[in-house]
Amino acid sequence: MCRMKKNIYLCGRFLMKYNMQKNLVIVESPAKAKTIEKFLGKDYKVMSSYGHIRDLKTKDFSIDVEDNYKPEYVIPPDKKKIVADLRKESETATEILLASDEDREGEAIAWHLFEVLELNKENTKRIVFHEITKTAILNALKTPRDIDINLVNAQQARRVLDRIVGFEVSPILWRKVKPALSAGRVQSVAVRLIVEREREINDFVSEASYRVSALFTLPDGTTLLNARLNRRLKDKNEAQAFLESCKSADFFIEDISKKPVKKSPAPPFTTSTLQQEAARKLGFSVAQTMMVAQRLYESGYITYMRTDSVNLSDLALGASKEAIINSYGEKYYKFRKYSTKSKGAQEAHEAIRPTYMSAPEISGNPQEKKLYDLIFKRTIASQMADANLERTTITINISGKTDDKFVATGEIVTFDGFLHMYMESLEEDPENDFENGLLPPVEKDSALNLREIVATERFTQRPPRYTEASLVHHLEELGIGRPSTYAPTIQTIQNREYVVRGDKEGVERTFNILTLKGDKISDIDKREISGADRNKLLPTDIGSVVTDFLLEYFPEILDYNFTANVEKEFDAIADGEMDWTKVMDEFYTAFHPTVEAAMTTKLEHRAGERELGIDPNTGEPVFVKIGRYGPIAQLGHARTGDKKSPKPQFASLMKGQSIETITLAEALKLFELPRSVGNYDGSEITAGIGRFGPYILHSKVFISIPKTLNPLTITQDEAIELIEAKRQKDSERHIKKFDVDPEIEVLNGRYGPYIACDKQNYRLPKSVDPKQLTLEECRKIIAEAGDKPATKKRFPRRKTK
């Protein structure tokens, strides 16, 4: 009887387990899983793979060239538990649905899951959707498909080719330039663009001319009219002669023309246009934009954020129409169907848009709300009517002159149309800063009274430095990279310190202003700062040297057309038109011999080394080059075998100095460091430049010199001020010490008091008064923490130099 009950119980458990088997949906992100789970019933379990579950080995080549370029994938240690959990669930699932993103990277994730989990085709399907809404998810479940191996191969081709370039070229950079450098197919081209632009700026010679504007009074005696001369004057002599001729001239309105102008809205966002507009309007970095957009997508607020397409679905078009007519009326609506112009457009499903066009606002953090607002307004505006404007041009005659005219232009909006919702921002253009709004009413042939004419010396503009957004735009124009690669590329070149995002100080220059008022011409000079930049991409010396080296030995890798053509080949692989292994073989067969040749080439001097001249005091040559910790100046040669000859001297370059532009005089100044600044409290103060930048040294304590001061010019009083500030900060930091056990200290950190012992930090309980702690109480807290001290990130280790 008992045995029978036991069997019935076990049978019941088995049936319960069988009936509880679920369909397993695997996505690549936990946030995405959480959103999808809301739309599916109890028959589905949604799990996350947390990105790729396997990849090429980090430190090995991991490509078998002899076996058709077969990648050697491994499961990283941190993914083994995830894989085990997914495998366990997949073994009991009725159906497995691979629901990673719809692009090539997402297809590759699905394929790796299929291979690693050893899934069966019979009960495994691929589902895709470009928005995380209930309708989209349910439609995807109705239309499953197999894994698209062509998309997978396109992703593998990119991964393998980039690994070949990185692993074959990087060791050459270590030997010829500097250890720990790396090269990449797309990143190196991006760095080249920035390096070449900086050199254009350095080589640019500005040309001066005079821009002339006039202020007139209309016949009513009170209304003013601004106008500008229709040409620039080449120099001061011509400007003075023109003003002299205007002393006795008469001015009247020669012509008035009015012209209707239409402005059309910009298309909905693609990945690159979203990155550019978020940078201009919101000040977001490219990486920040993609991170916020990813959260919006995974929360179900916007469609997929990696796309080349400007197309909108019929559903979105209908919803936009309804939203516009309901809010603004029929006249504000205009149907528009945009087509993608980008060559080789990939993932061309739909533009980035809100999933619900009836929702102008969402819940979220401020960044998410701002980016969503941008996407919503851009999408709605793309389906709105043109803006109608009227542009008025008034031409003013100067008596005695045939060709010279003053021109006043103004523009007014007669119907705002899409401008009611959204106005696309554009790059600044200093030449388009002279336009009036509504011009005053005037009549042809009316005489004007001259108040003043101002001739201002202006200068031709150098090429602009790249912002992250403008670099993305240029890469897209060249056909280099794809929506999924822009942000990682820009992040990588900054992480590897080939490029920095920073400020550039301008230089002071003088400009001249001539003013005619009445019968007198005044002549004054003013000063202005020219060439200052904020938050722009600047090449480092290492970035410039690596670019030059690669251009000399691997010109094909840095060739813009080659990189763009490779992208086209990836597109052809994705479309099933090319075999990815043949593409790899064609590349490797041509590329590998150049690697071997570069490896064996002996350089006359280290890459990037530049001789500045001869030191007049020693007669030794002065060089600048890349050292172990960055750019350095070198005085003298290293003479092997001659122990009696003086050893070369080395000095680090200061921030803002470059091996490309530093002069001999500036380099010789660096060898004056370290220098004595004075004495304080019985100890000498010295100033110098070290691995971490400019410093002063006093009583064996290093203190950083701020940007506002210079180690070559810092005074004793300024140095003493830094020493006292350091002492004050240290006194506030050290709460308590114990003479019996000096290894244990109670310190004040960024996040509050903590105990430091043997290079580890330990949190204090909230109830403890740090000033009253005894040595025994400190030891007890350390012992109770065991192997789990506070993280070094939260409580930084004490720094020593």
* Cα separation, 21 vs 16, whole angstroms: 9
Q: How many CB atoms lie within 10 A of CB 759?
A: 10
Peptide bond into 674 cis (omega under 30): yes
Whether 304 is catalytic is yes
Is the alpha carbon torsion for 101, 102, 104, 109 positive or negative?
positive
Q: Given the structure tokens 């007014």, which residue do they identify? A: 412
Q: Is 446 exposed, middle or buried (0-12, 13-18, 19+ CB in 10 A)?
A: middle
Tell me how crowded residue 461 is: count the other CB atoms within 10 A of its CB: 13
Which residue in the list 44, 69, 301, 304 is annotated as catalytic? 304
Secondary element (H or E) of residue 47: strand 44-48
For tokens 């990486």, name the residue: 287
Q: State both tokens at 344.
A: 């080789």
Whether residue 535 contacts residue 501, with contact meaning beta carbons closer than 8 Å, is answered with yes
Phi/psi at 372 (5° precision): -65, -45
Length of the chain: 801
* Among 28, 24, 25, CA closest to 107: 28
Alpha-carbon distance of 204 to 461, in angstroms, equals 9
Could you give the CA distance from residue 800 to residue 361 in angstroms, rounded to a whole number? 50
- What phi and psi, each to the nearest 5 degrees, are found at residue 324? -70, -50
Residue 86 has a CB neighbour count (10 Å cut-off) of 22
Beta strands per DSSP E along 668-730:
675-680, 683-690, 693-698, 701-704
In single-letter form, the type of residue at position 524 comes to I
SS3 helix, strand, coil % of the chain, rounded to 5?
A: 40, 25, 35
CB 132 within 8 A of CB 297: yes
Query: H/E/C letters for each residue in 313-369?
Result: CHHHHHHHHHHHHHHHCHHHECCCCCCCCCCCCCCCCCCECECCCCCCCCCCCHHHH
Hey, what are 391's tokens? 């542009």
The bridge status of strand 752-757 relative to strand 760-763 is antiparallel
Residue 346 has which token pair? 């990939």
β-pair type (23-27, 44-48):
parallel
Query: CA–CA separation, 280 vs 288, rounded Å?
Result: 13
Which residues have a Cβ under 8 Å from the Cβ of 657 and sit 6 or more positions away? 631, 666
Q: Quick check: helix, strand or coil at residue 499?
A: strand
Report which residue type is found at 286: V
What CA–CA distance (Å, rounded) separates 120 from 77?
25
* C-alpha of 225 from chain center: 44
Beta strands in 236-286 (DSSP E): 251-263
Quote the CA–CA distance of 63 and 147 in Å, as a whole number. Answer: 23
Q: Please state, in angstroms and rounded to a whole number, the distance separating the CA atoms of residues 204 and 452.
A: 34
As a whole number of angstroms, the distance between CA 486 and CA 538 comes to 17
Q: How far is CA 339 from CA 307, 326, 350, 409, 770, in A?
A: 13, 27, 10, 35, 66
Distance, in Å, from the CA atom of 407 to the CA atom of 692, rounded to the nearest integer, reads 56
Question: CA dihedral in degrees (793, 794, 800, 801; nearest 10)?
Answer: 50
E strand or H helix at 519, and its extent?
none
Catalytic residues: 304
